[in-house]
A and B are shown apart, each in its own frame.
Chain A
Amino acid sequence: MEGQIHRRNISGCGLAGMMSEDGRLMGGEAIIRSMEVLHDRSNGLGGGFAAYGIYPHKADYYALHIMYDDVKAKEETDVLLDERFEIDSEEIIPTKKSEAIPKGPLLWRYFVKPKVDFEDCGLCEEDYVIEAVMTVNSMVSGAFIFSSGKNMGAFKAVGYPEDVGKFYRLDEYEGYTWIGHGRFPTNTPGWWGGAHPFTILDWAIVHNGEISSYGINKRYLEMFGYKCTMLTDTEVVAYMFDLMLRRHNLPLEVACKALAAPFWTDIDRMKAKGNAKGDIYEALRMVYGGALLNGPFAIILGHTNGMVGLSDRVKLRPLTAARKDDMLYIASEEAAIREISPELDIVWNPKAGEPVVGELKNPVKKGSNKARELEETVA
């Protein structure tokens, strides 16, 4: 989509996330209401959501959400997709136009499986999907794949988040994790793809901040073959999680400590006390220095098995968390949480760089279908 994505967006924002660790399915009205409270944190130039558990009947297929400028872009994309995937089905994503969002690009949804059988190599299959997504996004003018995970989907547009939620009729979907975002960009390509969340595979990121280390984060990722085509900070965060969690197999908590690294004084103190974490963090900072996200940010990461909230190492952007029964809530402001759950068991302001982690009690096994079958046979 060259031409549309030539500016890196610097933005302040509002974000909210909610997750049932029991995996209970919930409609999309709540997250819309939560985001509506944060209306003033955005300026109508971008809103979006990601939801997990919404396609249970197609859970084995990668759900591709694609925006097209025109039919020609779709035709070109279809050729590329046909070469790579078996397409189970494709349909127009249902929307409801309103005064707030009167028009937009063509929005399509595909359920696909790779044509190549990767046997027991789950990583290879996911790399294959990433490659396909990056190929379409960088090669086809006027086409943009904005969601590519299994049993999840991203929905985004130019508009206020509550209007975007209604536009995509999110009340008709049911998911166990929802994250939402409203943008306040300081420059405006006015492009739907520039809204959050940014996703790759099942990683979805909503982000409030400006990452001053972007220049090196991007070059660091390029060493591992990622192409940062969108020039947004947020894209970089998504790839960082993909690299560290999926490819390097780091525990989530450790990966978060690379993105929001502890200070050397704290690491030295841990080492002096014989705390093994001191050595881990020292190694992490030596090896993953290029992954450190420096500058103000608060993010919520959604993925198939959970949700994570994280702020930068000195917490220059707000982030509040709360729990109620099996629910975990994370938002820019407590008000956004109270709006949808007035009674809470606990509310807290996570410390700088301390991740807030929600995990499904019964996690979904990832990887290719073959790999899962093999694993089950062995078990």
Chain B
Amino acid sequence: MKTYQLPEVRIERDKDRCINCGVCVRQCAFNAHKFDEDGEVYSEDEKCVACQRCVSLCPTNALYIKDNAPFVKDNANWTAETQKYIWKQAETGGVLLTGMGNPKPYPIYWDHLVLNASQVTNPSIDPLREPMELRTYLGSKPDHIEIEMVNGEPVLRTKIAPQIMLKTPILFSAMSYGAISYNACEALGRAATELGTFWNTGEGGLHRNLYKYAPNTIVQVASGRFGVHSEYLDAAAAIEIKIGQGAKPGIGGHLPGEKVGPAVSETRMIPVGSDALSPAPHHDIYSIEDLSQLIFSLKEATEYTKPISVKISAVHNVAAIASGIARAGADIIAIDGFRGGTGAAPTMIRDNVGIPIELAIAAVDARLREEGIRNRASIIAAGGFRNSGDVIKAIALGADAVYLGTAALVAMGCHVCQKCYTGKCNWGIATQNPYLEKRLNPDIAAERLYNLVRGWSHEISEMLGGMGINAIESLRGNRLHLRAVGLSREEMDVLGVQVAGSPMA
């Protein structure tokens, strides 16, 4: 069938600069660049995914990828994109697939929230001269501690539930081995260890060689139970039960058999070449009491030595669900907003299901406080955090820490082309193709991840100091340091913030 698709991009090649070296040809797994019969390089626009790999590596800067927004007759309803989807489905009869997070122009509430700073009545603090503390403990806390005085000396009588300690309130989000390459996993593990924070295996299991990073690893137990065994659980710093993912709330996962080579097969404990299908629900969790059973099964299995996290996508009733999860015994609740990324998701679900993380954090934090149980579980927020400004605002709204997924991939080289599900990632990140995978040098990628989080942490310190605060816990849930610009009364009510210009009360 002849495709009616129009090319989305246009590849411009400056013939004066091109030396016909063929780097672009070798770099593009989508075959957008080719040699013709005479050995001359040419390009096919329709194959290009705009990942910018060829542009970055062209030795003479001869390439330029241009937006080629196809002209369709002016129509607010039948845009080029809506028509494109229809052509695609008319040709295949399939479900539209995509990767990464929701790209739609929904409001980004971070950009409607502004931070405070000290002037005159209290001094700002310079983090280069004074201590500035970002250390964060994730896990369940009691609502008070008991101290007994013995011979005039205080003695601690309370034993606090297991915690994980972060040097900075930023973790790497769950991305599975299988969805991303071995080298990407290695880079995440190494960077997390260097940074004193944590990375997350996702549902792909933990490759044998990566057990050395286990003290900084959160392992996931998802509905497919891939790669879950006692050694895996024992090795981890914390265990996360994955209920949902922001990019695709309510559905399971699908790792195509092409991505399941020998190493992925061994790690996931499934046959080589078989599709790894995670069911939509856990088939042993049909209600909250079932979740509680799984939480306590995992606690029993690991002898109550590590915190158990439960990850959910942010949906309409997220506050009540989170309250149930806290009461079910979870030590950490991870909430993934609708801009959270994915290796593969149905486009319609990614773009239409779930709610923004900003509103979810605010609603959950407020609800747990109303019920007097906020101390029982820590909150990790996830879903499209772009910079340290987003992170610090999330903490002011009430999150304990933040998961970075997409930002970490971008740090490693990702250009958000949204083709993760094809397995052809030219940057060597979202692929299992050995030829592509080795393009990602784990040493360099780990350093880039380290640099990113270090930079953000410095920025968070500076902003905290500006507010006259020298410990992150004094900003956590401190919404008085946020003000809204351009939001409705209802939105401000849910966020628990006042309009900019109103006083500090």
Contacts and interface: CB of A to CB of B under 8 A. Distances in A.
Interface of A: 6-8, 10-12, 186-187, 209-210, 212-216, 219-220, 222-224, 231, 247-251, 253-254, 261, 263-265, 276-277, 279-280, 283-290, 292, 294-296, 313-314, 316
Contact of B473 (A10, A187, A290): A290
B147 A316 contact: no
B121 A10 contact: yes
A265 B130 CA distance: 12
6 contacts: A210-B468, A248-B144, A251-B154, A283-B145, A287-B145, A289-B474
A286 B145 CA distance: 10
Contacts of B144: 247-248, 250, 287
B142 interface: yes
A7 B503 contact: yes
Contacts of B147: 249-251, 254, 280
Contact of B470 (A6, A12, A294): A294
Q: Which of B118, B158, B468 has the most CB of A within 10 A?
A: B468
B493 to A, nearest CB: 15
A286 B139 CA distance: 10
Interface stretch (B34-42, B303-311, B367-375): B367-375
A222 B122 contact: no
B52 interface: no
B133 A264 contact: yes
Nearest to A291: B473
A222 B369 contact: yes
A265 B131 contact: yes
A263 B473 CA distance: 13
Contacts of A261: 471
A296 B468 contact: yes
A364 to B, nearest CB: 19
B133 A286 contact: no
Contacts, number: 133
Contacts of B118: 212
A283 B122 contact: no
Given A210-B122, A216-B475, A296-B468, A287 B505 contact: no
Nearest to B156: A280
A286 B143 CA distance: 10
A26 B430 CA distance: 78
Contacts of B503: 7-8, 187
Interface stretch (B21-29, B238-246, B476-484): B476-484
Nearest to B373: A223
- Closest CB pairs A-B (n = 10): A215-B480, A289-B473, A294-B474, A213-B474, A215-B478, A216-B478, A212-B468, A8-B505, A210-B122, A248-B144
B469 A294 contact: yes
Contacts of A316: 122-123
> Dominant SS at the B interface?
loop
A292 B473 contact: yes
A251 B156 CA distance: 11
A231 B505 contact: yes
A213 B121 CA distance: 14
Nearest to B368: A223
B478 to A, nearest CB: 4
A290 B122 contact: no
Contact of A263 (B131, B141, B155, B478): B131
Q: Which of A264, A286, A313, A314 has the most CB of B within 10 A?
A: A286
Contacts of A296: 122-123, 468
A364 B391 CA distance: 50
B154 A216 contact: no
B130 A280 contact: no
A295 B476 contact: no
Interface string B450-478: 00000000000000000111110111111
Nearest to A289: B473
A289 B149 CA distance: 22
Interface string B142-170: 11111101000111101010010000000
Contacts of A210: 121-122, 468
A295 B122 contact: yes
A294 B468 contact: yes
Interface string B97-135: 000000000000000000000101111010000110101
Interface string B290-322: 000000000000000000000000000000000
B161 to A, nearest CB: 10
B211 interface: no
B137 interface: yes
A233 to B, nearest CB: 10
Contacts of A254: 147, 154
A359 B176 CA distance: 60
Nearest to B146: A249
B504 interface: yes
B159 to A, nearest CB: 9
Contacts of A251: 147, 149, 154
A231 B502 CA distance: 14
Nearest to B374: A223
Contacts of A11: 121
Contacts of A10: 121-122, 504
A266 to B, nearest CB: 9
A292 B121 contact: no
A126 B369 CA distance: 24
A285 B474 CA distance: 11
B468 A295 contact: yes
Contacts of B477: 215-216, 219-220, 290
Given A224-B372, A314-B130, A287 B480 contact: no
A183 B51 CA distance: 62
A251 B154 CA distance: 8
B481 A283 contact: no
A186 B118 CA distance: 14
B503 to A, nearest CB: 6
A8 B476 contact: no
A213 B478 contact: yes
Given A248-B144, A292-B471, A283 B160 contact: yes
A173 B120 CA distance: 39
Contacts of A187: 503
Given A213-B478, A215-B480, 4 more contacts: A250-B145, A250-B147, A276-B155, A316-B122
Contact of B467 (A212, A220, A280, A314): A212
A287 B137 CA distance: 10
Nearest to A212: B468
Given A283-B145, A292-B471, A6 B121 contact: no
A288 B505 CA distance: 23
A210 B469 CA distance: 11
A292 B474 contact: yes
A276 B149 CA distance: 13
Given A213-B478, A215-B479, A286 B163 contact: yes
A277 B154 contact: yes
B347 to A, nearest CB: 39
B123 A215 contact: no
A7 B505 contact: yes
Contacts of A231: 505
A253 B118 CA distance: 30
Contact of A283 (B121, B135, B158, B374): B158
A52 B267 CA distance: 71
Contacts of A265: 131
A249 B468 CA distance: 30
A250 B479 CA distance: 28
Nearest to A231: B505
A295 B469 contact: yes
Contacts of A220: 477
Given A212-B467, A253-B154, A285 B473 contact: yes
Contacts of B130: 314
Given A212-B118, A215-B480, A294-B468, A286 B141 contact: yes
